[in-house]
A and B are shown apart, each in its own frame.
Chain A
Amino acid sequence: MGLILEFEGKELFKKYNLPLSKSIVVKSAEEAKKASTTLGLPVAVKAQVLSGGRGKRGLIKVAKTQEEVISHSIDILSMESDGRTVTHLLIEEGADIAKEIFISMVNDPMTLETLILFSMEGGVDIETLAHEKPDAIDKIRIKFDEDYHPFKFYPILANRGLTGKNKLKIADIMSILVRMMRDEDLTLAEINPLIITKSDEVIALDARIMIDDNASYRHPERKEYLSEEMRYSDSEKDAKENGLAYVDLGGSIGMLSVGAGLGMATADLIEYFGGSPRNFLDVGGGASPAKVEHALRIMIKDKGLKSILINAFGGITRLDDVASGIVAARDKFGIQIPLIIRLIGTNQKEGLEIIKNAGLQAFEDMEPAIKAAVNAAKGVL
């Protein structure tokens, strides 16, 4: 589930002619100053980071003078978010806000509906609003095969006091967002705030978008996204490029699983037996020897690794493939850390043969293998 950056979301909005303020992406205070000259003052200096709540965290500031553009840019570019220093700013034309509106939509996996949340009290944290004033939020459900023409939204918007062309514009925006959810493979489309200016213009001031990573083959340009770069650590990126799932957990036992559910249960059991998983590394179904080898190569880059646990239950994955990958990685990378291997399932006999011939051992049951890995991590063998 991939969150993308504000400016990337706005690029998508542009494609669908959603109303935006003029803005320029910059990487330094000097560029920010130049951008503010082009756009005219005042401007908003906005950190391009994945986490929300930027206003509260001082990651969005309004600059009325060139000096302020420079000082705000220097400030924000020295701040951190999501464990990394801010590198990109969006310099955006200032806006005279008269009204802030909230629109957000997701797919409901149970009903297949697109669920739209709408409120005239935007600009705030919506979870707080939902808690304190649930009546201020409209919930609109669009069935999978239902039309979502703008007029569908007129009564709801009218009911909240919107009239004239603003009502029509906002209904248009809602309709377009539903279309974007489907055509652009989005899992979240949110504008908070959508503003009405004092001169009665409607503008999408923010864009919070999540894209479906499984659909990236339909949107090859997304590979170039800066957010793609920011979303993952080096190991996560390396894993992703090799078709693996990697999550850093910070403990001492390197864990390689075949299958995500088994990996989660393995991590749970490591903690249950008093150990701590260093990572979650899933080679997924149908893994080749090369994939297993990559997984181990990525894993041993982690510092503080005390033991390695490989937990494979072969269904679509063949255990001889897993075994070959383990042995190849051990020989190629000279792995000295204790390797605890558990193999069961498809082509088990062939897999065990490979492990045995390489002078290694394998468990058949999960819990003894996990206990052994926990003990090995503690130096008890």
Chain B
Amino acid sequence: MAVLLDKNTKVIVQGITGYQGMFHAKLMKEYGTQVVGGTRPGKGGEEIDGFPIFDSVREAMDETGATASVIFVPAKFSKLAAIEAINANIELLTIITEGVPVVDTMEIVHRAKKGNTRLIGPNCPGIITPGQAKIGIIPGSIVTPGEIGVVSRSGTLTYEVIDQLTTAGMGQSTCIGIGGDPIKMTNFIEALELFENDTNTKKIVMIGEIGGNAEELAADFIKEHVTKPVAGFIAGKTAREGKTMGHAGAIVHGNVGTAEGKIKALTQAGVKMADKLSDIPVFLK
């Protein structure tokens, strides 16, 4: 058991002919993911490095039986790509692309919620079920199969914590990078719920950052619904008020969304909060 994806999940790549799309299609396949093809309008019927190309998501799904898609197209075209996949009833859609406009993300999330699609991202590193499959860009070399569910808002911090867990001999069930933008369909609560209901996940790590109130809402959810032990970390303690540190989501507005407030809320919910990432494996021993 794992959440969201396993070795049987058939995946297509939207934007497979692009620089990032091609590179990561290969890495995903090497890791064991069933990458069954990709889309690039106008190149349908061709092949690239052994991957069949389709004009549309619908055609790709009909031909290959794919149930998941990952979007690597530039931000300008992400909305259209996502709507196409949602309208084709893709079960799992991951948007890696960074810099999608807020209004576009609102429409994508709205449509995904109304439809039959579970959306991860945008601006996220994707999902990996160690030893089975990955969707997105989390390096396969750092994970190892095990029983810890990892959920994180930041890409590179996701890698960092996974690496520290693996080095400490603690494997992961599934790792979900939910993405750095404020608007998303799969947030901490949804990821925590998946891990709570997954028999293979015994413990949970959540990595948050300043800005917004997703961590505070997660704290309320954990108090009520999560029975498994949770360890946490919040990035951005040194951030200056009103300064964005790269992520649209990471803004400190007054005292809403500060590292201090989040750490307090999560601690009160029973989450063991780490000062530094290297404390997390220690907490979960």
Contact = CB atoms under 8 A, between A and B. Distances in A.
Chains A and B form a bound pair: yes
Interface of A: 1, 107, 109-110, 112, 127, 144-145, 181-182, 185, 187, 212, 214-215, 217-218, 245, 247, 249, 257-265, 267-272, 277, 280, 282, 284-286, 313-316, 344-346, 348, 366-367
Given A315-B138, A346-B139, A268 B156 contact: no
A259 B238 contact: no
A257 B154 CA distance: 13
A181 B101 CA distance: 12
Residue of B155, B182, B238 most packed against chain A (CB within 10 A): B238
The 6 tightest CB contacts between A and B, nearest first, are: A261-B154, A259-B156, A260-B246, A262-B156, A215-B101, A261-B157
A144 B156 contact: no
B109 A315 contact: no
Contact of A185 (B101, B159, B217): B101
B153 A261 contact: yes
A284 B246 contact: yes
Nearest to B152: A261
B100 interface: yes
Contacts of B35: none
A261 B103 contact: no
A245 B98 CA distance: 13
Nearest to B251: A1
Contacts of A107: 102, 106, 183
Contact of B157 (A185, A249, A259, A270): A259
Contact of A262 (B102, B106, B154, B238): B154
Contacts of B239: 264, 267
Given A262-B159, A284-B98, 8 more contacts: A109-B184, A110-B217, A112-B106, A181-B103, A261-B155, A261-B156, A264-B209, A282-B245
B159 A345 contact: yes
Interface stretch (B51-59, B85-93, B193-201, B274-282): B274-282
Given A107-B102, A214-B100, A215-B102, A247 B156 contact: no
B237 A261 contact: no
Nearest to B24: A316
B156 A315 contact: yes
A110 B109 CA distance: 10
B225 interface: no
A278 B245 CA distance: 14
Interface residues on B, range: 35 or more
Residue of B27, B155, B183, B276 most packed against chain A (CB within 10 A): B155
Interface in B141-187: 141-142, 152-160, 163, 180, 182-184, 187
B96 interface: yes
A245 B155 contact: no
B222 to A, nearest CB: 17
Contacts of B110: 112, 144-145
Contacts of B154: 259-262, 264-265
Nearest to A258: B156
Contacts of A215: 101-104
A260 B247 contact: yes
A212 B99 CA distance: 10
Contacts of A264: 154, 209-210, 235-236, 238-239, 245, 250
A218 B101 CA distance: 10
Interface string B104-119: 1011011000000000
A315 B137 contact: yes
Contacts of B236: 264, 267-268
Given A187-B102, A268-B238, A314-B139, A260 B250 contact: yes
B212 interface: yes
A258 to B, nearest CB: 6
Nearest to A127: B254
B194 to A, nearest CB: 18
